[in-house]
Chains A and B, each alone.
Chain A
Amino acid sequence: QVQLQESGPGLVKPSQTLSLTCTVSGGSISSGSYYWSWIRQPAGKGLEWIGRIYTSGSTNYNPSLKSRVTISVDTSKNQFSLKLSSVTAADTAVYYCARYFDWDDAFDIWGQGTMVTVSS
């Protein structure tokens, strides 16, 4: 059974770069018709899609964040990563990694989420 686990610093200073990694276990990140995504949720608010990557390295980003976001994949480690630059307090949120299944066109597996606070 595939599982996703986010990891990374819980506190990031304003203007710095937020870096998170999602480790995929129970299956290969390279198998099947899957895109690997990042989604965030500020406290008490809704979900915002950040971007996604295919194992070929092809990426799609939310235009509202595109200038600050980089998503990469490391198939040898079965991981994919998020970098968000020039963070402000508005980037404080729970960050989820999730698997997007191309056949169902939906996020079928989610990580538990990790809280990231932007504060000095």
Chain B
Amino acid sequence: EIVLTQSPGTLSLSPGERATLSCRASQSVSSSYLAWYQQKPGQAPRLLIYGASSRATGIPDRFSGSGSGTDFTLTISRLEPEDFAVYYCQQYGSSPLLTFGGGTKVEIK
């Protein structure tokens, strides 16, 4: 079973700062099968990144994804007020077929 571990659990930053979120897999994950989501309170998650580095439709270019193998990163270049939320990574391909990381909360410092 592949376990996705996200760090840090909480990231306290100010608007305009750079956010770097980590997602580490217990086994190698194909880059094609790693996605990132944003979730705000009371809302469903929203797809940000698929294929480790491709932005979903309508996602601003301040969001970028990178990584391969077991280490993946979501970077928000300059935090906007609407970016404070919880972020999840997700992998496809190993039993369970689909798994999510535990999430990283980006909060206003």
Q: How many pairs, one residue from A and one from B, have CB atoms within 8 Å of each other in the complex?
A: 64
Residues of A within 8 A of B103 (CB): 46-47
Given contacts A104-B51, A105-B32, A106-B35, contact A96 B96 (CB under 8 A): no
| Contact-residue bracket for chain B | 20 to 34
| Contact-residue bracket for chain A | 20 to 34
Cβ contact within 8 Å between B37 and A107:
yes
Residues of B within 8 A of A64 (CB): 96
B residues at A contact (CB < 8 Å): 32-33, 35, 37, 43-47, 50-51, 54, 56, 88, 90, 92, 95-103
Which listed segment binds B: A21-29, A80-88, A110-118?
A110-118
Interchain residue pairs with CB less than 8 A apart (16): A46-B100, A46-B103, A47-B88, A48-B100, A49-B96, A49-B99, A63-B95, A63-B96, A104-B47, A105-B35, A105-B51, A105-B92, A107-B45, A107-B90, A111-B44, A112-B44
Given contacts A62-B96, A105-B35, contact A46 B88 (CB under 8 A): yes
Given contacts A104-B51, A104-B54, A107-B35, contact A46 B46 (CB under 8 A): no
